[in-house]
Amino acid sequence: MHKTASGLWGAFKQPVGKPETPIAKSVGLLPGPAAAPSKGGWGRWAPAAYALGGALVAGAAAGTAYYHRTDIENSYGALMDHMQYVGKLWDKDALAERVRRLVEGETAHGVVFRT
């Protein structure tokens, strides 16, 4: 009877066909390798939780962008107007024409610009 009970208890202790992996003991100052964490409980659900969290963050960003769409459109329009203005400032021919008109205004009309 004792032999049968020990055999049954041993069957539950170690899965059949899966040899027990020994963990090496540390030698010297460095610690030995840590045992691999088991994929039980939270470990199985972690990838799904990360995916769900990422989807919630993306949804919140999209909802916020939709809620502030008029502000975004206005800002985009102002940015495009500013870029057109800056583009005109760098036009060499237009710059030369503006400087010529300033000098002409000073000589012809007596308007002086000081800085």
- Cα gap 18→47, rounded to integer Å: 27
Domain that holds residue 108: 48-115
Asked whether 113 and 102 are in contact (CB, 8 A), the reply is: yes
Residue 7 lies in a domain: no
Please write the tens of the pLDDT for every residue from 47-99: 889 999 999 999 999 999 999 999 999 999 999 999 999 888 888 998 899 88
What DSSP state is assigned to residue 29? S
Q: What percent of the chain has pLDDT over 70?
A: 63
What pLDDT score was predicted for residue 87?
87
In a domain, 75, yes or no: yes
2 within a domain of the structure (yes/no)? no
Whole-model pTM?
A: 0.39
